[in-house]
Amino acid sequence: MTEQQNRPALRSQRLNQITHAPHEQLDKAVKANAPFETLANYARFVAAQYGFQNELKALYSDPLLVEIFPDLPERCRAEQAKADLADLGTALPEPVAGALVKPSTAQALGWLFVSEGSKLGAAFLIKRAVALKLSESFGARHLGEPAGGRAGGWKSFVRILDSLQLSAEEEAQVEQGAVDAFERFNVLLQQAYIHAPKVEVA
């Protein structure tokens, strides 16, 4: 069977396939830093989340992207993550070199795919945060359920993403953007935990 025949028909499915390795690598990095073991560990995790969401703020208010996804501005979680850090008594992290700057619309779609998709995983993380006495209204706002629900919000985003007509070059940019987004979050995560004691994971 050729590689072309192996490629899923839907763009969102192709993106899931292409980002499987960096996604897995990021999951391992998160577990290795044990963000839900202590409040201090969790605060570092939120710092990475804030850094990522803050870097994407411009995308969530970009007129061309808002034209494609009308509810995009409301989907941004930068302010929630900022409020979480304030709840935790943690200062905003310093900017980390290498932030996304003026991507093409196609590249931006890949980054948004990763950012929006992470809301599904947040359903599991919020349960871990509750054990630290945090909630959707204190310390774990950015992990809270979006308006319209996680599944509903994701499905509406993906439906639009899958329906877009893109050139082969734009398609490649979307895919690269998604991979870059996972890699960027990994960088921000490592930076957030750089001075933290390492946790051995079996």
Burial class (CB in 10 A: 0-12, 13-18, 19+), 131: exposed
pLDDT over threshold 90, residue 185: yes
| CATH code for the part of the protein at 11-192 | 1.20.910.10
Could you tell me which of 138, 27, 45 has the C-alpha nearest to residue 93?
45
**Percent of the chain clearing pLDDT 90 (strictly above):** 89
DSSP 144: S
Predicted TM-score (pTM) of this structure: 0.92
For residue 54, give the 3-state DSSP assignment: helix
Rounded to 5 degrees, φ, ψ at 134 are: -110, 165
How confident is residue 200, by pLDDT bands cut at 50, 70 and 90?
very low
